[in-house]
Structure 1
Amino acid sequence: MNKRFLLALGLWLLLVVAYFVIKINFFPTPPEPEQPKVLAPHTVPAEQAEQLLQPLAVPLAQIDLALHAQPKEVEAAVGKVMAERASAAERAAELRRKQESEWQNDAITLGSSKDYKLLVTLSRAGAAVRRIQLNEYRSADRATARPTDQPLLLVDDDLDGTLNNLPLADRLERQSYRLLVDDMPLAWEVLPDQERIDENGVRTQVVFQAIAAGKNVRILKTFTLAPGDYHVGMHLRFESLAPGAEVRYMLTGARGVPVEGEVWKTMPFRQIVTGTVTPSGSAIRHLVTPQEIRDDAKRGEKEKKLKSPPIAGESPPERLQFSGVMLQFFASLAVIDGDPNKHAYIEKVEPEYYGDDPKPLVHGQEWPINERFQGRIAPKLTSRVIKPATDAPQEHKYQLYSGPTKIYLLRFQTGVPEEVVNGYYAQHLNIMTDYPWWPIFAFGWTQLVVFFTDCMHWLLIQLSWICGGHHWAAIILMTVLVRGLLFPISRRQALMSLRMQKLAPEMKALQEKYKDDRQALAAAQMELYRKHGVNPFGGCLVMLLQMPVLMGLYYALYESVDLRLSGFLWIENLAAPDMLFYLGSWPILLKDLTHTLTFGYVVINLGPYFNILPILSTVLLVIQQKLLTPPPADENQAQQQKMMKYMMIIMGYAFYWVASGLCIYFIISGSWGMLERKLIPKVSHEKPEEPPAKTGPGKRRPREKTSTNGAPDGFLGKMKDWLDDFLEQARKK
């Protein structure tokens, strides 16, 4: 019955996949015409509107006079009011045109979309970053993470498309890496004579200056960009204008960082990542999620780690190295350029929550998102008090990094100098991904997993090049290659497990015999293991040897930015669920499952799309478990096996939003496991036979060319003989 059910389920899934593959590739749905974007009219600030409309305030006596006057006088009074109103409206329109003109001229660009890794847009008015474009990567749809034909804007002050509807002050607040004094913006101006342009006419340096009112400090803010850098250099210089000058500044973090795949993400959309360094040089990573920022208690706990100690002159245990916003594949950070123990610029870091994410549109319908994970966040860095002398200005140097979270991948990207990547490692940016999850194992275990993860990244990149850039083929080849190399270890583990299962009846008999003497039971068990050549800890040791390799393979597929927006068949993004078809176009039952349904303690939410690969992965896991699980010896064991089947179904639901690239790995790995199980013979406890005598030095006894089942001689016969030899040697071992 189980075999028939699994066969029917497999055939049904195969038919569904075939139908949608044919439909997508041969009968594509025509794209919907793009609706023109309608912008709301620009609004003038209230104080300016009041000044412009002041002439419209007609005295009450004048209106009363007009009501009792002759018709000609009434007409003249009304005409005068209308003329004043038209004049005020014209002046308001002129002011709006002037503001728009100034805003259009506000942008200053660093770098270019050619020969540079970044294209950076700065603001003249705010001396801050408006946009950072990553030229090597494309953007993805906010709701589903499907690829677009636009370059990736990792920092964007117009993320929601409403920037032009805002007054100037609100536009400035959307900018990133602003410098504030007393929580107020400064009046910046550009120094044209400090500008630098390379031989291709590309601007590479811009210098701003401002005077901190009441602080007697002149601030110079310099931005620089080199072709192979994934960071913008930011150099702050503080000059004293009078004795006793002092200032403290606040540096805002990256705003307008986009999210990909909001309708299916099961992790925080954004996280604030902060790296600190201890006096001994050890790097420590701190993560803050939007939900934690909304919780005042947890936010206060995060702030305490970087606040100045209460005792004057005492050094804090950690110094800030970097802080910023991190996504799954990219991050935008403010990094202290140098050793933070020598350049302790920052006194504290405060997480800032500045708005909710709007609900995305899926097929023209607003779709709910997980409230726990959503939220627009950024850090705010507060400096120590700076006291520049008249003849000794102080300088703070930063790097504004915007690039992949996995720093190791930059080593394989053309145009990125090796010294730049080494500099990122020296600034501990690698701990964004390469950081211990288990403090117990800490450094040794983490370094081992990171080593194998980097090896898998290297292997995946090489196989992708061999496969002509087809990353799905590279995933399959890498999985087969790794599992093949681990076959001797996994085979030994499986054999040990089978031997332990074969000894289960004898072990149960010993437990009944020595149930009152634990010491005698332990001695009898060890004697039984020795008699049959079984190491009870061998299976655990073999599993432990495999874990770093398999974990490295998993993390490599999870971190690889190359899989992002890479397609295969109907899959448009291997870093997202496969999204075979839209559930909203199917019967009412499937429509209901797209939203959250609650059955007691069970909550079902399939989202707007049907994902087939997680279901195939779960089916393979169930089949593999059935093949590896021995028949139950008693009712308790049968009940446990039944519970494991239900756990597999729950695991399938948890896997429903797993990236399709990882699902391909699970499918290939599960198929390999089933094939591996078929090649492992049954364990016999009989005394091993003596090896066949050799007919001569270095020669084996010739094998009979004819077999009892009439196997043909030739290539097929040789293959059968080789397989028989392999299984025979495995049985004897």
Structure 2
Amino acid sequence: MSNEKRLVLFMMLTFLSFLAIQYVMEATGLAPPPKKPQQVQAKLDPAKTNLADATKPGTDQAKEPKKEEQGTDAAKPAKEAKPATPQVAAVPASEMILGSADDKTPEAYHLEVRLKQRGAGVTSIKSSQFDAELDTANPRRKQPRRPLELLIDKANTLPSFALTVRSAKEAKLAATEELDENPEGDLPAARRATEAPLAETLWEVVRDDQGRAVRPITKLNPLTKAKVDGQEILFRTTADDPAVTVTKRFRLFKGEDAFSLTTEFESPEKEQEIVYRLFGPHGIPIEGEWYTSTFRDIFFGQKGSKPTNIVTRAAQDIAKAGAAKFDNTTLPLAFAGIENQYFTIFVEPEGEPRISETVATVIEAKPDAVQKADLSFEILSNPISVGPNHPVSQSYTIYAGPKTQDALTPYGAEGLVAYRKYQWFGIPGASTMARYVIAPLLDHIYALTKQVAGFFGGKKGNYGIAIILLTLLVRMIMFPLGRKQALAAKKMQDLQPLLKEIQEKYKDDKERQTKETFALYKKHGVNPVGGCLPALIQLPIFVGLWQALNNSVHLRHASFLYIQNLAAPDMLFKFPFPGGLPLLGEYFNLLPFLVVSLMLVQTKLFAPPATTPEAEMQQKMMKYMMIFMAFMFYKVPSGLGIYFITSSLWQISERLLLPKVTHATPAAGQSGDDKNPPSGNGGKGGPGGGGRGGNGPAKPPGKLAQLWEKVMDEATKDPTYRKLVSEKDRLEKDQKDKDKGKPRAKPGGRRR
């Protein structure tokens, strides 16, 4: 058995042994059970507030003290945490809904916002413009429409956009005391001041004169000057310490992917300074949890630059043990939010923000999967002066929708459209190409397919066909560079026999071998790095295309052939095994194996033959690595798989048609020319048709060719090189003279 077969057999046995051991351990119960996720709720810090029992899991309201604890000091904080207005009447949850998710027309409500009376916050946000994720149990089964839930209701946590209030004077005093006790400087100690428990208070729902909790409102569209219908709801409560009245107003209008929140503070008794803390959104779902690499991220947009500087952190960077604090304090806050692969929810302050700090928080930690942790943030205000005749309000715009250029531009957050993963491996120009060229081009091509479908009675285009046409268009634009790259590769392939002869002839003299190799390159007009430059120029384009397809919300739920979701793997069929297969999951994806198969065919057809044992072994290892690449990219979105397949087919066709493109009749008398030996490619003098001995006038060399000739001319000026060439010519001349002086041997006879 050869070494190659032994290597393949060893790798296959190792892989199968790993699968078998894992399956046996799980079947026999020897494998340790997965840890249960640890619930960390969005609650007020017990060390910083008096609400230690207010937000424990499993309760929706302030926990009452136990009877045996009443009268003791332990029960005092619970008594102080009781709502200041317990006589507030409860309002049914069905009456606290803004908008609707039933109508998908652009003129209808784009959002359905469900609110909660306790805490006066948001529990759920649904989108009418996008459907919920497909049922992965049977993705090909026709499913009833379910609106996408952009913010999932979690009963055991504080509602999103709840807030607390405290006295600025007490906050400063608490911070000073803590700093005296802790010389290292515990800056977050200011939050340990007493806070009014408004996040767990039952707020009053202010009804209109007709008794409606949700009020109809209108506004003028600044562009069309037409009236736009909307809805609003008001919450109000009064805190005891500090003594302030707080009003929260939520507004939502038709045709918008955002709603507004206005908070108003008033001190009816005295002038005072207060500080409030606003909790951000949490509960954004993970799209394609079993295949995606983008789970939940948190970001801060900072003013002071155009475009807005966006700082992003992934969930694992925030939730892992010992993670550094992620906050925004130095630059004014433009917006802060959370996002998944295709959607985002962010808060944008309006007017003078009066924001001191914005800090990331963990709502639900998962020790066994920190990348899936639920994140949020808190906005801490600067001290605000309020009084009996001096109310202060602060408004926020809350966007909840897709990450598209058109939707985010009105809010100055178009930077969220860019692909911001793996910044440490950034290709210059790739993100710009993806955002400003490729993504709009894909939309225009899709619109073209929609128009063509309209001629045949269709109402929708096809993004699968659009991806194929986009790939072909990019390849056509890059055809001149691609052809040069293919020509350079073919020249190198044709020179391999000559290079092998040089390596065998001068295997003991590496310096001579190198000089002879470069002399051969110059003789045949071959630039060994000529094929790399076109590839480097094409790299930003292809990486930008990859980013655009990987981050496009339009591919979500877009179908093509048997594929139901171009943003997900193709999922040809489901494995009959419970839980699927390790490393592969529950579904068999065909496209990754087609991609690798085309790469193997391309390598087999066009890779130059190995001239050394090392090169031969390297080529074999590359073939095996391509097989493992099928598993590495097994869960790539099917839209990207279509792009790779189309691109590989183009490359194969381009190389197969290359000899026909460069074919020409050789010039008379050139077939035996030593300077331009025939190479079997049409007699153009050099390998691959790159010589100058063909019919017609010679094409003037380009700048790169001129530079290469200059380098080779400088090399010929080297005394060592000239001496070696002269010695070689002398030896060849002596050998020819010696051969001419020898008598020819007669056929069948012996030379004496």
TM norm. shorter chain > 0.5: yes
C-alpha distance 632-536 of structure 1, shift in aligned 2 (>3 A): closer
1:128 aligns with 2:140: no
Pick one of 197, 205, 211 that aligns with 2:217: 197
**In 1: Cα distance, 2:656 partner to 2:310 partner:** 45
Letter in 2 for 1:451: Y
Deviation of residue 642 (structure 1)? 0.5
**In 2: Cα distance, 1:284 partner to 1:681 partner:** 51
1:214 aligns with 2:241: yes
**In 1: Cα distance, 2:666 partner to 2:419 partner:** 48
Deviation of residue 235 (structure 1)? 2.2
Letter in 2 for 1:154: E
Moved more, 147-156 or 640-649: 147-156
C-alpha distance 570-636 of structure 1, shift in aligned 2 (>3 A): same
- Is the Cα–Cα contact under 8 Å of residues 141 and 260 in structure 1 kept in the other structure? no
Aligned partner of 2:131 in structure 1 is 138
**In 2: Cα distance, 1:390 partner to 1:524 partner:** 94
Pick one of 431, 441, 444 that aligns with 1:456: 441
**Equivalences for residues 431-450 of structure 1 within 5 A:** 431-435=416-420, 437-438=422-423, 446-450=431-435
3-state secondary structure, aligned to 1:225: strand
1:319 aligns with 2:323: no
1:422 aligns with 2:403: no
**In 1: Cα distance, 2:629 partner to 2:396 partner:** 45
1:269 aligns with 2:270: no
3-state secondary structure, aligned to 2:532: helix
3-state secondary structure, aligned to 1:478: helix
C-alpha distance 174-612 of structure 1, shift in aligned 2 (>3 A): farther
C-alpha distance 219-464 of structure 1, shift in aligned 2 (>3 A): farther
Deviation of residue 485 (structure 1)? 2.6
**Equivalences for residues 169-180 of structure 1 within 5 A:** 170=156, 173-180=157-164
3-state secondary structure, aligned to 2:594: helix
Aligned partner of 1:238 in structure 2 is 265
- Is the Cα–Cα contact under 8 Å of residues 205 and 235 in structure 2 kept in the other structure? yes
Deviation of residue 133 (structure 1)? 1.8
Aligned partner of 1:543 in structure 2 is 535
**In 2: Cα distance, 1:615 partner to 1:261 partner:** 21
Deviation of residue 436 (structure 1)? 8.2
**In 2: Cα distance, 1:177 partner to 1:435 partner:** 27
For structure 1, list consecutive stretches of 5 or more residues without a partner in the other structure.
1-41, 52-97, 164-169, 309-315, 358-369, 411-420, 585-590, 597-604, 691-726
Letter in 2 for 1:465: K
Moved more, 115-124 or 431-440: 431-440
**In 2: Cα distance, 1:206 partner to 1:352 partner:** 29
Letter in 2 for 1:152: P
Q: Which digits, 9 at most, give the CA deviation of each residue in 1:484-506, with x for residues without a partner?
A: 33222211111122223444566
Deviation of residue 648 (structure 1)? 0.2
3-state secondary structure, aligned to 2:132: strand
1:475 aligns with 2:467: yes
1:293 aligns with 2:318: yes
Q: Which digits, 9 at most, give the CA deviation of each residue in 1:439-478, with x for residues without a partner?
A: 6979766434433333433344324424532222222222
Aligned partner of 1:354 in structure 2 is 364
**In 1: Cα distance, 2:571 partner to 2:428 partner:** 39
C-alpha distance 514-337 of structure 1, shift in aligned 2 (>3 A): farther
Bigger share in helix = 1
TM-score (norm 1): 0.65
**In 2: Cα distance, 1:431 partner to 1:523 partner:** 53
Aligned partner of 2:110 in structure 1 is 117
Pick one of 224, 242, 258 that aligns with 2:285: 258
Moved more, 503-512 or 247-256: 503-512
C-alpha distance 442-655 of structure 1, shift in aligned 2 (>3 A): closer
**Equivalences for residues 636-647 of structure 1 within 5 A:** 636-647=614-625
Letter in 2 for 1:457: L
- Is the Cα–Cα contact under 8 Å of residues 277 and 283 in structure 1 kept in the other structure? yes
C-alpha distance 214-258 of structure 1, shift in aligned 2 (>3 A): same
Deviation of residue 347 (structure 1)? 0.7
Q: How many percent of aligned residue pairs carry the same amino acid?
A: 31
Aligned partner of 1:337 in structure 2 is 350
**In 2: Cα distance, 1:442 partner to 1:493 partner:** 20
- Is the Cα–Cα contact under 8 Å of residues 334 and 400 in structure 1 kept in the other structure? yes
Aligned partner of 1:607 in structure 2 is 585
**In 1: Cα distance, 2:299 partner to 2:245 partner:** 29
For structure 2, list consecutive stretches of 5 or more residues without a partner in the other structure.
1-57, 68-86, 166-194, 210-214, 220-226, 454-460, 669-687, 700-752
**In 1: Cα distance, 2:366 partner to 2:424 partner:** 33
3-state secondary structure, aligned to 1:400: strand
C-alpha distance 689-113 of structure 1, shift in aligned 2 (>3 A): farther
**In 1: Cα distance, 2:506 partner to 2:377 partner:** 66
**In 1: Cα distance, 2:665 partner to 2:399 partner:** 66
**In 2: Cα distance, 1:499 partner to 1:683 partner:** 14
Q: Which digits, 9 at most, give the CA deviation of each residue in 1:590-611, with x for residues without a partner?
A: x389243xxxxxxxx2111111
**In 1: Cα distance, 2:282 partner to 2:143 partner:** 22
- Is the Cα–Cα contact under 8 Å of residues 563 and 661 in structure 1 kept in the other structure? yes
3-state secondary structure, aligned to 2:634: helix
**In 1: Cα distance, 2:150 partner to 2:629 partner:** 36
TM-score (norm 2): 0.63
**In 1: Cα distance, 2:228 partner to 2:523 partner:** 82
Number of residue pairs matched? 543
Aligned partner of 1:108 in structure 2 is 97
**In 2: Cα distance, 1:684 partner to 1:511 partner:** 31
Aligned partner of 1:587 in structure 2 is none
Aligned partner of 1:364 in structure 2 is none
Letter in 2 for 1:500: M
3-state secondary structure, aligned to 1:286: strand
**In 2: Cα distance, 1:104 partner to 1:649 partner:** 55
Deviation of residue 629 (structure 1)? 0.8
C-alpha distance 574-678 of structure 1, shift in aligned 2 (>3 A): same
3-state secondary structure, aligned to 1:292: helix
Aligned partner of 1:361 in structure 2 is none
RMSD: 4.2
- Is the Cα–Cα contact under 8 Å of residues 119 and 203 in structure 2 kept in the other structure? yes
C-alpha distance 221-649 of structure 1, shift in aligned 2 (>3 A): same
- Is the Cα–Cα contact under 8 Å of residues 452 and 549 in structure 1 kept in the other structure? no
Letter in 1 for 2:437: F
**In 2: Cα distance, 1:615 partner to 1:496 partner:** 29
C-alpha distance 402-207 of structure 1, shift in aligned 2 (>3 A): same
1:579 aligns with 2:582: no
**In 2: Cα distance, 1:387 partner to 1:529 partner:** 80
- Is the Cα–Cα contact under 8 Å of residues 112 and 128 in structure 2 kept in the other structure? yes
